[in-house]
């Protein structure tokens, strides 16, 4: 089983997913031409947290970015089936092996065969991915006829995470950073279309809860690194796994909001050392 | 009957402190890290001996038993065999995962199937337990204690971490801190399952930097003074505690030295950037 067997084995009572009937699932949403957002949500912090995947239409077939959580397993599979007219996927690019990102690899491979899996970890066996093709940070790989560049992610939790820049569409796929906790009912909206009230708090709360190391950060050092990344890799959109897509027109606003969030999180540690270490 | 209290060593496990059994997965030679160390002047890393970055699990055995972490999926048989050997027919009362990262929790299912009597224990922090099938686990945090009889476990916050859903652990009878991903470092073939006081070399800044510049890649973005303050807080809180990391060797002697070294590591990584990917 890929990525270890925590989800299968620790299945104490839930034993699967919270899937609503697949028939009720919305269609994927186009981010740009050839890249579609298949969004799923999980309740967090009084709102919703996206646990999404993205479908890339490459010349050689369909590529999935991340596999999603077992929590949405049946529904996600049905949505991919519907979006691809049953053809399924021929390659999967993994941001990292954390279970909400890798948890459906076995079931997807069970349906569509041993398609290629591309992952950035240095030792795929330790991550439960002995069959993965390794992507090295900084390199560009052609996957099903499309170039993808694997970037060192400034906002991540696990060390083997990569951000993936699709040279065909100029979409940057990111995890875990760039998430936003959004209000129920706004699950299908892009970031720029979220209600302004609470939107900045959604960015701040997501990063405070998810990337706990931000409390130690020098905000300028981090934000300068992000700015340089976007200079080198201009985007048509940013496609977060844990938040709504951010169009190029909204990127400056998002980065300003993120900057405020990072400064606030870092400021808390300086003002209240050891107060919030237990989350 | 509790397992023996001697310093028994088998292929992949030993009782390293009274009641604390250390189970180690060393994996393959990490040539890229060895090359980087040699390039940085660490001649010891070019000795021709394999360089390992281990995964450690710890079985704590008092009148009750608890396994802390599970090793990676590549070591499923290893950890199950070690449990059979150490437990000798006793039940496994608790299986605790420090955080749901594959190299730490990847054998949770296999262990629970072999030991269905075990109560799953998971960090209290965070709201995403259901995404990891940890919603029905016993959730522990800084205010919680698990009494194993002869051993007493506490769950301090994970001060330095990757995943948010995360806990460290301490054992108060032996005064041992389990800092999970923090204080990891590579060792050479022949040093496996040895405490730092049992090997010929002194663990230096280069080994700690080789690990943390990869795993705690975010050290490159920190305000060094803020991290130092947190490290110094830890040094005071856990003064005199032995250190049992998930990716290094057990430290029995002079543990305070390692807190000082980690302050140097953070300064180095903040200056030079990440070392690579692990």
Residue A236 banded pLDDT, cuts 50, 70, 90: very high
Nearest to B278 among A152, A154, A160 (CB): A160
Contact flag A278-B125 (C-beta cutoff 8 Å): yes
Q: B41, B246, B64: which is closest to B162 by C-alpha?
A: B246
| 3-class DSSP assignment, residue B202 | coil
**Phi and psi (nearest 5°) for A213?**
-70, -10
Sort out which chain A residues have CB atoms less than 8 A from B103's CB and list them.
126-127
- Contact between B141 and B155 under an 8 Å Cβ cutoff? The reply is yes
A130 touches chain B (CB under 8 A): yes
Q: What CATH superfamily is the domain A6-271?
A: Ribonuclease Z/Hydroxyacylglutathione hydrolase-like (3.60.15.10)
Chain segment A92-102, per-residue pLDDT in tens: 999 999 999 99
Confidence check: pLDDT of A279 > 70: no
Q: Count residue pairs from A and B with Cβ separation < 8 A.
A: 194
Is B164–A279 a contact, with Cβ atoms under 8 angstroms apart? yes
Query: Which class does domain B13-272 fall in?
Result: alpha beta
- Mutation choice for B interface testing from A42, A98, A126, A242 by most B CBs within 10 A: A126
CA dist., res. A80 & res. B115, Å (int): 37
- Separation in Å, CA of B151 to nearest CA in chain A: 23
pLDDT in the model for residue A278: 40
Q: How far does Cα A264 stand from its chain's mean position?
A: 23
Place of tokens 């055995």: B61
pLDDT (0 to 100) of residue B3 = 34
Please tell me chain A's helix, strand, coil percentages from 3-state DSSP, rounded to the nearest 5: 35, 25, 45
Best of B31, B182, B221 to mutate (most A CBs within 10 Å, chain A) = B221
Quote the CA–CA distance of B41 and B45 in Å, as a whole number: 9
Q: Which residues of B touch A222 (CB under 8 A)?
A: 221
A51/B190 Cα distance (integer angstroms): 44
The model's pLDDT over A162-186, given as tens digits with 9 standing for 90+, comes to 999 999 999 999 999 999 999 999 9
**CB pair distance less than 8 Å for B102 and A159:** no
With an 8 Å Cβ cutoff, is A138 touching chain B?
no
Average pLDDT over residues A197-226: 96
Global confidence as pTM? 0.93
**Residue among A9, A130, A279 whose CB faces B109 most closely:** A9
End-to-end CA distance of chain B: give it in Å, rounded: 40
Collect all residues with Cβ–Cβ distance below 8 Å to B198 and sequence separation of at least 6: none
**pLDDT band for position A9 (cuts 50, 70, 90):** very low
Closest CA to A257 of A215, A183, A203: A203
How does DSSP assign A63-131, residue by residue? EEE--B-GGGHHHHHHHHHHHTTT---SEEE-S---HHHHTTHHHHHHHH-S-EEEE--S-TTTTT-TT
The gap between the terminal CA atoms of chain A, to the nearest Å, is 31
pLDDT at residue B6, as a whole number: 37
Question: Contact A35/A239 with Cβ under 8 angstroms?
Answer: yes
Q: Where are the beta strands (DSSP E) in B41-93?
A: 51-52, 55-61, 65-68
Q: What is the pLDDT of residue B276?
A: 80
By CB atoms closer than 10 A (0-12, 13-18, 19+), residue B176 is buried
**B274: chain A residues, CB-CB within 8 Å:** 152
A222 touches chain B (CB under 8 A): yes
| Mutate which: B97, B128, B275, vs A, most A CBs within 10 A | B128
Say if the Cβ atoms of A6 and B133 lie within 8 Å. yes
The pLDDT tens digits along chain B (278 residues) read: 333 333 444 569 999 999 999 999 998 899 889 999 999 999 889 888 999 999 999 999 999 999 999 999 999 999 999 999 999 999 999 999 999 999 999 999 999 999 999 999 999 988 899 999 999 999 999 999 999 999 999 999 999 999 999 999 999 999 999 999 999 999 999 999 999 999 999 999 999 999 999 999 999 999 999 999 999 999 999 999 999 999 999 999 999 999 999 999 999 999 999 988 77
Residue A270 contacts B where some CB pair is shorter than 8 Å: yes
B125 interaction partners in chain A (CB closer than 8 Å) = 278-279
CA–CA dist B237, B172 (Å, integer) = 12
Q: Where are the alpha helices (DSSP H) in chain B?
A: 31-39, 76-87, 102-105, 108-114, 205-215, 224-237, 256-272
Per the listing, tokens 């999967």 go with A92
Three-state DSSP class for residue B237: helix
Q: What is the pLDDT of residue B4?
A: 33
- pLDDT (0 to 100) of residue A276: 45
Model pLDDT, residue A271:
64
Query: How many CB atoms neighbour CB A276 within 10 A?
Result: 14
Instruction: State yes or no: pLDDT of A277 exceeds 60.
Output: no
Q: Does A229 touch chain B (CB under 8 A)?
A: no
User: What are A100-123's pLDDT values in tens digits?
Assistant: 999 999 999 999 999 999 999 878
- Which pLDDT value is given to residue A268? 74
Q: Which residue of B has its CA nearest to A160?
A: B277
Please indicate if any CB of chain B lies within 8 Å of the CB of A24. Answer: no
């Amino acid at each position: 089983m890929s990525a270890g067997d925590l989800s299968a084995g620790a299945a104490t009572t839930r034993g699967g997913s919270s899937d609503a009937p697949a028939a009720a699932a919305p269609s994927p949403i186009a981010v740009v031409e050839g890249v579609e957002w298949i969004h799923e949500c999980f309740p967090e912090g009084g709102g919703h947290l996206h646990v999404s995947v993205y479908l890339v239409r490459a010349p050689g077939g369909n590529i999935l970015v991340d596999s999603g959580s077992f929590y949405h397993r049946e529904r996600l599979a049905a949505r991919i089936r519907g979006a691809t007219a049953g053809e399924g996927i021929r390659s999967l690019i993994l941001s990292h092996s954390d279970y909400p990102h890798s948890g459906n690899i076995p079931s997807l491979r069970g349906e569509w065969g041993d398609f290629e899996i591309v992952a950035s970890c240095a030792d795929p066996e330790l991550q439960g991915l002995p069959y993965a093709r390794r992507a090295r940070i900084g390199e560009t790989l052609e996957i099903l006829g499309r170039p993808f560049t694997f970037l060192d992610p400034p906002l991540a939790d696990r060390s083997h995470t990569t951000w993936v820049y699709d040279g065909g569409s100029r979409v940057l796929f990111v995890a875990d950073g760039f998430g936003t906790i959004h209000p129920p009912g706004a699950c299908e909206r892009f970031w720029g279309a979220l209600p302004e009230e609470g939107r900045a708090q959604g960015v701040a709360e997501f990063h405070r809860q998810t990337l706990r190391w931000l409390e130690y950060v020098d905000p300028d050092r981090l934000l300068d690194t992000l700015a340089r990344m976007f200079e080198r890799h201009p985007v048509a959109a940013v496609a977060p796994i844990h938040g709504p897509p951010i169009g190029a027109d909204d990127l400056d606003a998002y980065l300003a909001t993120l900057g405020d969030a990072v400064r606030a999180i870092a400021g808390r540690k300086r003002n209240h050392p050891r107060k919030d270490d237990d989350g | 009957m509790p397992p023996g209290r001697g310093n028994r060593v088998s292929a992949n496990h030993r009782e390293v402190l009274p009641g604390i059994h250390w189970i180690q997965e060393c994996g393959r030679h990490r040539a890229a890290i060895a090359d980087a160390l040699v390039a940085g002047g660490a001649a010891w890393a070019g000795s021709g001996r394999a360089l390992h970055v281990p995964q450690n699990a710890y079985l704590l055995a008092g009148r009750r038993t608890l396994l802390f972490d599970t090793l990676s999926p590549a070591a499923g048989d290893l950890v199950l065999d070690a449990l059979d050997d150490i437990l000798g027919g006793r039940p496994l009362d608790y299986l605790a995962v420090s955080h749901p990262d594959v190299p730490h929790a990847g054998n949770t299912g296999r262990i629970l199937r072999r030991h269905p009597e075990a109560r799953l224990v998971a960090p209290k922090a965070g709201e995403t337990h259901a995404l990891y099938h940890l919603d029905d686990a016993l959730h522990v945090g800084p205010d919680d204690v698990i009494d194993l009889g002869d051993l007493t476990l506490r769950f301090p916050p994970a001060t330095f971490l990757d995943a948010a859903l995360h806990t460290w652990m301490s054992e108060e009878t032996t005064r041992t801190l389990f800092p999970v991903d923090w204080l990891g470092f590579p060792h050479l073939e022949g040093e496996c399952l040895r405490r730092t006081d049992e090997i010929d070399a002194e663990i230096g800044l280069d080994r700690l930097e080789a690990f943390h510049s990869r795993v705690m890649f975010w050290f490159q973005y920190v305000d060094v003074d803020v991290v130092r303050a947190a490290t110094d807080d830890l040094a005071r809180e856990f003064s005199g505690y032995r250190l049992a990391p998930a990716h290094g060797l057990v430290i029995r002697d002079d543990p305070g030295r390692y807190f000082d070294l980690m302050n140097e590591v953070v300064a180095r990584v903040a200056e030079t950037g990440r070392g690579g990917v692990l």
